[in-house]
């Protein structure tokens, strides 16, 4: 199936850039159970709020996670600079639903057709008759819309975005501790090497003196034996 989703500019940009490879919705009375209709392989056409222009096409990776309460699950998939905006978006909701994207086609700069309705018509789809609020299924005009859509994106050279990895606070702490341990280990090794190389000159001189004294005694003993 194929759906349409209107996003605020901040989130539309993040999705198209591949920096937000998921979509979520707060579980409030008005918006509950929106994502239950999604399945792996479904497409979501992303339109920026107020522009009515297709800016991204996202393929769903797996069925939605329902009634999640840990926001860190989503924050780990976002840049740290967007964590506060996510909290504001979810507001005071106790739980949320979310769906992850397998990949995203960035369509912001390649489509010659800027109007969402005209673009959808070209690939065999149409806008629903209801107000564009929430996640809505698009109207299918041509049963071959899927192949037409992919062909159009290939011809237009839409940019393929894949999931990115973001370091969490715990990851950063672990990395910092690892770096500190490596530095300490290197410093310890350097100290051992310096101690071995920079041995006190007196110790070396004593060794030489001991060696010379031993040789001298052996030589004298040989001379004495000659006169016997």
Both 143 and 175 in one domain: the answer is no
Tell whether the model's pLDDT for residue 49 goes beyond 60: yes
Q: Does the pTM exceed 0.95?
A: no
Among 93-102, 106-115, 168-177, 190-199, the range with the most confident prediction by mean pLDDT is 93-102
Both 23 and 132 in one domain: the answer is yes
Provide φ and ψ at 57, rounded to 5°.
Answer: -125, 120
Secondary structure (3-state) at 134: coil
Both 144 and 38 in one domain: the answer is yes
Q: 3 and 45 in contact (C-beta within 8 Å)?
A: yes
> Over the stretch 5-46, which tens digit does the pLDDT of each residue have?
999 889 999 999 999 999 999 987 666 678 888 999 999 999
The helix (H) or strand (E) run that includes residue 136 is strand 135-137
Both 51 and 132 in one domain: the answer is yes
Domain boundary among 151, 166, 181: 166
Residue 209 belongs to what domain range?
A: 170-226
Both 41 and 115 in one domain: the answer is yes
How far apart CA 31 and CA 127 sit, in angstroms, is 20
Q: 21 and 104 in contact (C-beta within 8 Å)?
A: yes
Share of the chain above pLDDT 90, in %: 45
Both 202 and 180 in one domain: the answer is yes
Both 108 and 183 in one domain: the answer is no
- Residues contacting 36, CB < 8 A, separation 6+: 64, 66, 97
> Over the stretch 66-103, which tens digit does the pLDDT of each residue have?
999 999 999 999 999 999 999 999 988 889 999 999 99
Both 142 and 175 in one domain: the answer is no
């Amino acid at each position: 199936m194929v759906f349409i989703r209107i996003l605020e500019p901040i989130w539309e940009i993040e999705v198209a850039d591949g920096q937000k490879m998921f979509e979520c919705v707060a579980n409030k009375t008005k918006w509950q159970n929106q994502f239950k209709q999604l399945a792996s392989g479904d497409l979501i056409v992303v339109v920026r709020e107020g522009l009515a222009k297709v800016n991204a096409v996202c393929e769903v990776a797996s069925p939605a996670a329902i009634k999640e309460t840990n926001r860190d699950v989503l924050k780990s998939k976002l840049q740290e600079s967007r964590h506060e905006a996510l909290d504001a978006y979810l507001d005071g909701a106790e739980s949320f639903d979310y769906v992850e994207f397998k990949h995203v086609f960035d369509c912001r700069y390649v489509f010659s057709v800027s109007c969402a309705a005209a673009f959808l018509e070209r690939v065999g789809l149409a806008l629903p008759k209801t107000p564009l609020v929430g996640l809505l299924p698009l109207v299918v005009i041509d049963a071959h819309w899927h192949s037409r859509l992919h062909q159009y994106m290939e011809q237009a050279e839409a940019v393929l975005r894949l999931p990115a990895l973001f370091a969490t606070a715990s990851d950063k702490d672990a990395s910092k501790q690892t770096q500190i341990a490596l530095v300490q280990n290197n410093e310890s090794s350097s100290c051992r090497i310096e101690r071995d190389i920079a041995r006190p000159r007196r110790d070396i001189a004593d060794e030489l003196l001991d060696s010379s004294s031993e040789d001298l005694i052996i030589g004298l003993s040989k001379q004495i034996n000659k006169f016997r």
